[in-house]
Amino acid sequence: MPDALVSNAWHLPRATANFKAAGLAVVPAPMGFSISTNDFIAFLPSASALSVSSRALHEW
C-alpha cells in the first residue's frame, strides 16, 4: 500500500519522482499552494515575484 507524500506543492513533482526512483510507492498529497491575483499589479516587477521565480527555478 502506498504512503502519502505530503510536501509543498512546489516540491511535490520532484519529491514524487525521487521517491519513485528509490522504489517507494507514494501518493502525492500537496499542500501550501500559492495564490496569485489576476490584476494589473501582478505583472509589475516586485521583490515577491523575484522570490517566486527563484523558488520555481530551484525546483526545475
CA distance 16 to 56: 16
Tell me the pTM: 0.59
The DSSP letter of residue 41 is G
CA distance 24 to 7: 16
Coil, helix or strand for 34? coil
pLDDT of residue 6: 94
CA distance 51 to 58: 11
Q: Cell 517507494 identifies what position?
A: 24
For residue range 7-54, list pLDDT tens digits in order: 988 888 999 999 999 999 999 999 987 776 677 777 778 888 788 788
